[in-house]
Every structure is written in C-alpha cells, then in structure tokens.
Homo-oligomer: A and B are copies of this chain.
Amino acid sequence: MPLLTADAKGVFPIAPTPFLADGSVDNASIDSMMDFYATCSTGLTVLGQLGEAPKLDHAESLSIAERVIKRAGNLPVIVGVSAPGFASMRALTRDVMDLGAAGVMIAPPNTLRTDDQIVNYYRQAVEAIGADVPFVLQDYPLTFSVQMTPGVIRRIVNDLPSCVMLKHEDWPGLEKISTLRKFEQEGMRRISILCGNNGLFLDYEMQRGADGANTGYCFPDMLADVVNLSQAGKWDEAHDLFDAHLPLLRYEQQPGAGLAVRKYIMMRRGIIACDAQRRPAAPLSEKARAEVDNLLRRLAKRDPRAAAAIR
C-alpha cells in the first residue's frame, strides 16, 4: 500500500470497531463496513479513540489492523498509535507499517502545556517511530487539553517532514485553518488538513481551505458529498445537504454518548451487524434511542439514505 502523503483529500472515516453482542470482534462486519467505505471514502483511520482502541489488547489491535488493511485495497489506512510511552508507540507503529498501513496518527498526551513541550513531544515521537513513517498530527484540545497555536503547528510541520496531515478538531477552528493556509503562502510546507469534530463545521471548513473530513459521522457518504460539492464550488447545494444532517450530526457529536448513536445508526443502515460496545460502555437509553429514531425520521424527508435506514 502506498504511504500517506500531504496530497490526501476527501473523506477518511474514523472506523468504529464492530463487536458482537458477546464482546468479541465481529470480523464479518469489518468486511461489510470496509465494502461500504470503499463506496464513499478516499482512505480511513482505525484504532482511534472512537474505535474503542483502549479496549483492545495488542493482538486484537493487530488482527483488526491487518484485516482492515487487506480489505482496504488501494485505500490508505491510518492507524492510531497514541500510547503512554514511546516504546509501545514504536512497537505498534512497526507492526502496522509492516502490515501495510499508510501512516499513523499521534495525539498529544494531556500533560503537555508549553509550546516547546508540544514540539519536543512530536520530535521524540518521530525519533521513536522513524522519520520514514508518515504521521497525522491530531489537534483536539477539547479532549486532550493540549492547545496548539498555528505557530506550534508550523514549527512541527517545518521541523518534521514526516508530518503530512493535520486532523483538525480545534473548536473554534475556522480561523486556524485560514491562518495555516496563509502560513503556506508564506512558505510553510503544505499539508493535508482533514477535519474532525464529527464534521460539525465541515461546510465552512471547506470554504476556509480544508481538504476534507477525517471523522466518524454515521453518514460518511453525506460528508463525501459535501466535500465534493464544495470542491466543485456548489456551496449552496453543499449547505443544503449539510444542514439537513445537522440536527442528527449535532446529536451524534455528544462526547461519550456519541459512539452509541453512531453504531446504532450504522447498524440500522446495514453497515455493521450489531451496535454492541465493549465494556465499559455508555449504551443508549430508551429515550435516547427514541430521539435518534425521530432524528432519522425527520432526516428521511430530505435524504433518501436516511429513509433507507428506517425502512
């Protein structure tokens, strides 16, 4: 599989890990999910936080990465390798790169505070995994409590050629994209910017210069349409489609609760067989499930994909 490059565009879904009701990994659903992603995505990310990676042991993680990579064909697969220490980060990176991963994603540990601490952390991470492994810089202050200024990102991009992509999920984040694109005009190496945060601002992020999305919303095919419409300059159509999904998208974006919504809808869409999470998990309450059903019903009036899900 080719390595990830700074030219990456489109939608890289954050893949959930499908489990059966008994908590075992559901390999058949990995396959069906991959077949679905092949229809709408230009790559994907596995073993991210929303892939329930911390609930997998090392052998399971490798086995999932392997199955995903094989089934992905030409789609580049990014593997989350964030770890409490560089030794396990290096070990996991080597294993998945050997299996054919296109690159890795690294989140900052939430103890980092100063600009220098952040930059040094990524230097050390690259030293650990090897400068030949392309990596995605994850900028998600809401979860990690680490705040990277555009200037810090520029230092990382300039110092570390293997940084090829930014998973942008700062909030607010629109001005950050504009600033980074301005930095590029002033000489910073260009990197791919794919947006996370469940895509809550994807419509305007595309207008600010993002290259696409790297997030787990249960309709990645909608995100792909928004990216494509935006790249074609059809802004109003992009907004119309995006706005129709916004009520559900907002609902799915709730921290903690969101994964249950996502898996439930992916199950109803037939993408995976079962919406089980491994323990510890926060399942949908009855009221929440009724709310999601209502959101789908309302969405079905405006997007036939949602209509299909509730038939």
Contact = CB atoms under 8 A, between A and B. Distances in A.
Interface stretch (A8-16, A50-58, A267-275): A50-58
A168 to B, nearest CB: 14
Nearest to A145: B113
Contact of A246 (B88, B172, B243): B243
Contacts of A84: 54, 83-84
Given A255-B171, A280-B124, A114 B152 contact: yes
Given A84-B83, A280-B86, A172 B55 contact: no
Interface in A40-74: 53-58, 60
A113 B118 CA distance: 11
Given A243-B246, A250-B200, A91 B57 contact: yes
Contacts of A287: 174-175, 178, 208
How many chain copies? 4
B246 A247 contact: yes
A223 to B, nearest CB: 16
B172 A257 contact: yes
B172 A54 contact: no
Contacts of A247: 203, 239, 242-243, 246
Contacts of A114: 114-115, 147-149, 152
A154 interface: no
Given A255-B171, A279-B127, A287-B174, A116 B58 contact: no
Interface in A166-213: 171-172, 174-175, 178, 200-201, 203-204, 207-208
Interface string A140-173: 0000001111011000000000000000000110
Interface string A244-263: 00110011001111000000
A132 interface: no
A242 to B, nearest CB: 8
A83 B82 CA distance: 12
Contacts of A243: 246-247, 298
A308 interface: no
Interface string A85-110: 11110110000000000000000001
Nearest to A111: B110
Contact of A86 (B55, B120, B172, B255): B55
17 contacts: A56-B87, A58-B88, A58-B91, A86-B280, A110-B110, A114-B152, A117-B147, A124-B280, A171-B254, A172-B254, A172-B255, A172-B256, A174-B288, A175-B285, A201-B250, A204-B291, A243-B247
Given A172-B257, A242-B247, 20 more contacts: A54-B83, A54-B87, A54-B88, A55-B86, A58-B58, A83-B84, A110-B111, A114-B114, A114-B115, A114-B152, A115-B116, A115-B149, A116-B151, A117-B147, A174-B288, A175-B257, A175-B285, A175-B287, A201-B251, A243-B246
